[in-house]
Structure 1
Amino acid sequence: MIQLKLGEDVSQLPNITIEVVTDGNIEQCRELCNELMAFQKSMATMAPEAFDTMNFDTRMKRSYENALESQVIVVKDNGDPVGYVFSTIDRIDPSKRAFPAWAPVEGKSDVLGFYPDWEQIPSKMGCLNNLYLREPYRDLGLGSKLFQMSMDWLESFADVEVIFIYVSNGNDAALQFYLQKGFTFSHDVFGGFIKAVYKVRA
């Protein structure tokens, strides 16, 4: 099996294309996003039932439409979507500590939400929201390729000082992947339901 190295052309993998979505057609990611939510539930050691309300419509589509800027990159095999990365630029309002309805924080008053308890929080942040590849397409270098394309886009915004990635509990492989890519652990979101990692713009 051919492995794609960072910087290599995807032509090294026959029939594989990597396409940046420019026409707003994120519907092609519906099945993949729903698979990702199911995978996260299967890995979760804390409140797996919270994933029951998470799907393409409630998570990806909503985030895509509400973000200041959004980017979706899709991996296709013979034209069929087999993976994607979804990134956004969002405005931060640290005064709002509202938790979404699905957050498992009932009865807890001292837990942190998506934002850390830093003294100063930037007004904008970049976020790699989803990175997912179907099983046969993992370990080929495609994940690193998508990650780097996302970082290149996020870091192209001069007024974005920090990039966050939120990793579901139980998904230790993903957490280690991002830590190895230079991200630093920030805090437990919703008491550990999610792990937040971040990178400050150089």
Structure 2
Amino acid sequence: MGNITIEVVKDGNIEQCRELCNELMAFQKSMATLSPETFDTMNFDTRMKKSYENALASQVIVVKDNGVPVGYVFSTVDNIANSKNSIPDWAPVVDPENNKGFYPDWDHLPDKIGCLNNLYIRDGYRDMKLGSKLFTLSMEWLESFPDVEVVFIFVSNGNEAALNFYLSRGFTYSHDVFGGFIKAVYKS
């Protein structure tokens, strides 16, 4: 461990997260108990880059060790008015009878939501409280939008440590997504 820095990406260069995002997808696959093969189609291009480009607002913060990325957090603000019930192509159909999409069927689900999409710290850096720091910075950014009433985090199945991390920080379990492939938590 050398010189650890935390940098907000201001120039749109999210390419520096490609390797880390792909590591995250492989990590999630290794933890998954339901449909791990679904992660085979998930990577930087299909998940992070696509979300970054389509969001109303995006923030990426990168942790570097001597200039080399070792972790990141990626957050977005999205308008979900037309996609509340949509199911992406990659989504597994675990239970066709109860295949809920990303968002709950609340009476008042706002059209504009915040989302902490990815938080990943490379092994060897996880005991340095960097995940907590990135989480705090992401939440500060998401909470800076006065018209964002709710923030969602979608946790892959099998990743109980991540789920417990978010629950211990004030998030509440909302629902299973795609028959339990993902667990949704929220904070309003």
Measured in 1, the distance between the counterparts of 2:109 and 2:185 equals 14
Alignment of 1:1-202 (within 5 A): 14-93=2-81, 96-105=84-93, 108-200=96-188
Percent identical? 76
Measured in 1, the distance between the counterparts of 2:82 and 2:100 equals 11
SS state at 1:139 partner: helix
TM-aligned CA deviation for residue 110 of structure 1: 2.7
Measured in 2, the distance between the counterparts of 1:96 and 1:138 equals 34
Measured in 2, the distance between the counterparts of 1:164 and 1:95 equals 15
Structure ID, larger Rg: 1
Residues paired across the two proteins, number: 188
For 1:165, the aligned partner's letter is: I
SS state at 2:85 partner: coil
Unaligned ranges ≥5, structure 1: 1-12
Measured in 2, the distance between the counterparts of 1:35 and 1:46 equals 19
Measured in 2, the distance between the counterparts of 1:109 and 1:101 equals 18
Measured in 2, the distance between the counterparts of 1:143 and 1:107 equals 33
After superposition, the CA RMSD in angstroms is 1.3
Per the normalisation by structure 1, the TM-score is 0.90
Measured in 2, the distance between the counterparts of 1:96 and 1:161 equals 16
8 Å Cα contact 1:94-1:115 kept in structure 2: no
Deviates more, 1:102-111 or 1:72-81: 102-111
TM-aligned CA deviation for residue 106 of structure 1: 6.4
Measured in 2, the distance between the counterparts of 1:127 and 1:95 equals 14
